[in-house]
Amino acid sequence: MFVKQISIYLENVKGSLREITQLLGDNNIDLKALSIADTMSFGIVRCIVAEEQIEKTMEILREHGNIAKVNNVICVCIPDKPSGLSKVLTLIEDAGISIEYTYSFYKNTGDNAVLIIRPSEKRRTVAVLSENGIQMLNQAEIDKI
Amino acid sequence: MEKKHLIYNPEMECIDREKLKAIQGQRLRETVKLTYENVPLFRKRMDEKGVKPEDIKSVDDIVLLPFTEKTDLRDEFPFGLLAAPKSEIVRIQGSSGTTGKPIVSGYTENDVEVWTEMVARSLAGAGCGKDDIVQVCYGYGLFTGGLGAHQGATRLGAMVIPMSSGNTQRQIMMMKELGSTILCCTPSYATYLGETIRDMGLDPKKDLKLKAGVFGAEPWTEEMRKRIEELLDIDACDIYGLTEIAGPGVAFECLEKKGMHVNEDHVIPEIIDPVTEKQLPYETPGELVFTTITKTGMPMIRYRTHDICTLYVDKCECGRTLVRMGRITGRTDDMIVIRGVNVFPSQIESVLVKTNGVAPHYVLVVDRVNSTDTLEVKVELTEDMFSDTVAHIEEVKNYIAGEIKSVVGVQAKISLVPPKSLPRSEGKAKRVIDNRKL
C-alpha cells in the first residue's frame, strides 16, 4: 500500500528550485505533488510522479549532477472538511507512531483531499489506518490523479 | 598470501646496515668536499659555522653541517648552487608550479642515472618488471613526475605509455585497449580515474588489466589507499620525492605497504625537530631532512623538506634493509593554525574517508569572523548520505563534525555540496582556502 516518492537535494542557492522544476518540465515530467523541506543550509524537494516516469526522472536528475533517491510513502484519502486530517493523525499518534512530514496533492479525488504521509513506521501505520477504515491509495490509483 | 617481492638492486637495497653506513660516510665526505669547493653559498655557511670538509669523518658528523632551505634555491636561481660546470648539466627539472620564481635543479648525466635507478627500484617495489605496461599520467615537462616514471620504467624494460596528465576519457580508453598493468599518477587523480571508470560502467576486474599503481606527488592517507585499491582493484603503493633531491623515487613502498624505503645509498634521511633543529632518533615524528650523496650537478646538503614524518629502521618483510619513512602527516609550512590548534588537512581527510558514503573530495575554508577563526569543511554529498528526511542529513553532518572535533580538536562547520562540484586536481590538489587576513 505504498507509493513511490522522489527526494532531491537542493542547494541553498538562488534559482536552484526553478532549475530543478524547469529541468523536469523540459523533459515532460508531470509533478503530481511536491513539497520542500528548507533548512539554513540546504533543502529537500520531495515529489510524486507517475510510476512510469520515475525511472526517467531519476536518470535525468542524475545526468544533471543531482543527488536523488526514491523511497516509499503512504498516500491517504481524507474527507475534505474540518477535522478530517486531525482524526487521521490522532489514530497514528495513538499507535505511538511519529510523523516525519506530510504534504498534499494539488488535485482532490471526489470529496477527499489526498495526503502524503511519511511516518516513522510505515508498515504499522498502514495496518492502523486500514483497521480504522481509512482509505489509502496505491501507486496505480495515484497514477490516475 | 605470500607476496612475491621484486628487488631491482638487492646488493644495495638489502645491504648490511653497517656496510651501508661506511658507504654513506665515504660518499658524504666526497659530496661535502665537492660542494664546499664549488658552491659559494655552502662554503660561506660552513665557514660561518667554523666547519671544514675534513671535520666530516663519518655519517654521524652530518649534524655539523648547515641546512639548505627552499629559499636558497630561489635566491640562487637558476645556477648558483651548481657544483658542476654548466657544460656538464644535461637536464633541468623544476618545481610543479608554485607561485613566484620557480625552483630548478640541474642534473649531470650521473644524476639522471642515479634518479633513474631510484625510480626503477620504486616501480619494481610495486611489482613492475619487463613484462609490464606502464601508463604514466604524471605531467611530462619540468615537473619530475612524468619523465621520472618514464625513465624508471624504461630501465626495467617495461612498455611505457607516456600519456602525461589530463584527458581522462582517453586515459581510460588507452588503459583498456592497451591493457596497462601499472598506473603512475597522483593519488587524487587515481581516485578520479577510478570513479570515472566506475561511472562508465566498467569493471576493472573484467575490463582492465591493472595490477598496481605507484602514486605520489601529494600526501595521501591509508583510507584513500583502500578506496583506490577498491575502485581500481589494484595494489596502491606510495612513492616520494622532490625535485631538489632528484624527483620521485627518493623513497618508495614495496608491496608490504609499511612505509617507503629510502634509497639510502643515494640520500641520507634525517628527522629533526623543526624548532630546535636537533636531530631526532628513529620512530620519532619530525621534519624530514635529506642530504644527497651521489649527485654531482646540484648536491643538496641537509635540505629541509618541511614534510613531517617518522623513520623506521626495523627490517621489512620484503628483505630490504633500507630505512622506511611513514606517510607524510603534514607540512611544517602549510599546516594551518586554527584557534591556536595545528591542523593538517590529512587529519580531516582521514575522518572523511572513514565515514560511510563520503567521497574523499573536500576543501577546507578558513576564515576569521569577529576575531575568531572559523573552519568550514566542504564535502561532496553522495547518494549514500542522502535521504528524504532533514534529520538524517543533519545526523550525517553532526557525525562528521563530531569526528573532526575529536581527531583535530577544532569545531568545524560541515557544508554538503553537490557531487563532483569540488575541483579535481590533476596535479597537487588544492585543499585549503585561507581567507584570513593574517
- Residues A85, A48 share a domain: no
Closest residue in A to B419 (Cα) is A65
B427 or A38, higher pLDDT: A38
Q: Do B390 and A39 touch (CB under 8 A)?
A: yes
**Mean pLDDT computed over every residue of chain B:** 91
Which residue in the set B387, B388, B420 is minimally distant from A65, CB to CB?
A: B420
- Residues A121, A101 share a domain: yes
- Residues A78, A64 share a domain: no
How far does the CA of residue B159 sit from the closest CA of chain A (Å)? 37
CB B205 within 8 A of CB B199: no
- Residues A64, A102 share a domain: no
- Distance CA(B274)–CA(B333), nearest Å, equals 10
Q: Which residues of B touch A (CB under 8 A)?
A: 381-383, 386-391, 393-394, 415-421
Closest residue in B to A58 (Cα) is B383
Q: Do B388 and A69 touch (CB under 8 A)?
A: yes
What number is the average pLDDT over the span B35-61?
A: 97
pLDDT bin (cut points 50, 70, 90) of residue B99 is: very low
- Residues A91, A60 share a domain: no
What CATH number does residue A12 fall under? 3.30.2130.10
Which of B377, B378, B379, B388 to mutate: most A Cβ within 10 Å? B388
Nearest to A53 by CA among A33, A34, A30: A30
pLDDT(B269) > 90 = yes
ipTM of the complex: 0.85
Query: Which residue, A27, A45, A71, sits at the end of a domain?
Result: A71
Q: What are phi and psi of B155, to 5 degrees?
A: -60, -35
Give the three cell numbers for residue B383.
547518494
Give the three cell numbers for residue B251.
623513497
Question: A-chain residues within 8 Å CB-CB of B415?
Answer: 41
Query: Which residue, A71, A95, A129, sits at the end of a domain?
Result: A71
Establish how many alpha carbons lie within 13 A of residue B59's alpha carbon, considering only the half-sphere containing its beta carbon.
Answer: 22
Write the CB contacts of B403 (distance below 8 Å, at least 6 apart in sequence).
B351, B354, B355
B107-112 contacts, C-beta under 8 A, 24 or more apart: B107/B295, B107/B297, B107/B298, B108/B84, B108/B295, B108/B296, B108/B297, B110/B294, B110/B295, B110/B296, B110/B297, B111/B246, B111/B295, B111/B296, B111/B297, B111/B298, B112/B151
- Residues A91, A37 share a domain: no
Closest residue in A to B413 (Cα) is A41
CB pairs under 8 A between A and B: 49
pLDDT bin (cut points 50, 70, 90) of residue B2 is: low
Nearest to B383 by CA among A71, A102, A15: A71
- Residues A86, A116 share a domain: yes
How far does the CA of residue A83 sit from the closest CA of chain B (Å)? 26
Q: Which domains does chain B have, with CATH numbers?
A: 10-15+90-331 (3.40.50.12780), 336-434 (3.30.300.30)
pLDDT tens-digit profile of B321-359? 999 999 887 777 667 778 877 677 877 887 888 887 787
pLDDT tens-digit profile of B356-384? 778 778 899 999 888 788 999 999 888 88
- Residues A57, A6 share a domain: yes
pLDDT bin (cut points 50, 70, 90) of residue B429 is: low
pLDDT(B218) > 90 = no
- Residues A127, A67 share a domain: no
pLDDT of residue B346: 75
Nearest to B122 by CA among B107, B134, B105: B134
Q: How many angstroms separate the Cα of B218 from the Cα of each of A41, A75, B101, B188? A: 32, 52, 21, 8
B17 or B431, higher pLDDT: B17
- Give the three-state DSSP class for A118: strand
Closest residue in A to B388 (Cα) is A7
pLDDT(A79) > 50 = yes
CB B43 within 8 A of CB B36: yes
Question: B-chain residues within 8 Å CB-CB of A7?
Answer: 386-388
pLDDT of residue B425: 59
What number is the average pLDDT over the span B301-322?
A: 94
Q: How many residues does chain A have?
A: 145
- Residues A19, A34 share a domain: yes
Question: B-chain residues within 8 Å CB-CB of A41?
Answer: 415-416
Closest residue in A to B397 (Cα) is A41
pLDDT of residue B406: 87
Give the three cell numbers for residue B215.
602514486
pLDDT of residue B59: 97
pLDDT of residue B428: 54
Residue B18 burial by CB count (10 A; 0-12/13-18/19+): exposed, middle or buried? exposed
- Residues A85, A59 share a domain: no
Number of domains in chain A: 2
Query: Which residue, A40, A71, A102, sits at the end of a domain?
Result: A71
Domain that holds residue A49: 2-71
CB B43 within 8 A of CB B9: no
- Residues A62, A116 share a domain: no
Give DSSP secondary structure letters for B53-92: GGG--SGGGGGGSPPB-HHHHHHTTTTTT-SS-GGGEEEE
- As a whole-number percent, the residues of chain B with pLDDT over 70 amount to 96
Is the whole model's pTM more than 0.80, yes or no?
no
pLDDT of residue B97: 45
pLDDT(A84) > 70 = yes
pLDDT of residue B438: 63
How far does the CA of residue A46 sit from the closest CA of chain B (Å)? 7
Residue pointed to by grid coordinates 634555491: B73
